[in-house]
Amino acid sequence: MRTLSASEAKQGFAQVIEAAAREPVVIQRQKRDVAVVLSMQEYERLTRLNVAEFQRFCDRVGAAAGAAGLTEEKLAALLADD
């Protein structure tokens, strides 16, 4: 992973975009990591992973709730505005 200062990134933004096509580029300000520039392909891959992981989490929670006796009707009653 390539690391640049914010000043270097600002001065050479075209090069940052080109480098991000190959690998993530970390931007630092005062020697602290503040941002990462990555390719759209990598961003979409990470987004798909996050969505899939969230769905697995929801499935586990739903299964545990079902095992504990929660039904669609009970859930609707809990969520109803009374």
Segments making up each domain of the chain, as ranges? 2-38, 41-79
Q: Does residue 67 register a pLDDT over 90? A: yes
Give the C-alpha separation, 43 to 20, whole Å.
11
Mean pLDDT of 43-51: 92
Q: Does residue 35 register a pLDDT over 90? A: yes
DSSP conformational letter for 74: H
pTM of the model: 0.65
Give the C-alpha separation, 46 to 24, whole Å.
12
CATH 3.40.1620.10 fits 2-38, yes or no: yes
Q: What are the angstrom distances between the C-alpha of 38 and each of 20, 56, 60?
A: 5, 26, 31
Averaged pLDDT of the chain = 94
Residue 11's pLDDT is what? Answer: 97
Q: Does residue 81 register a pLDDT over 90? A: no
Q: Does residue 82 register a pLDDT over 80? A: no
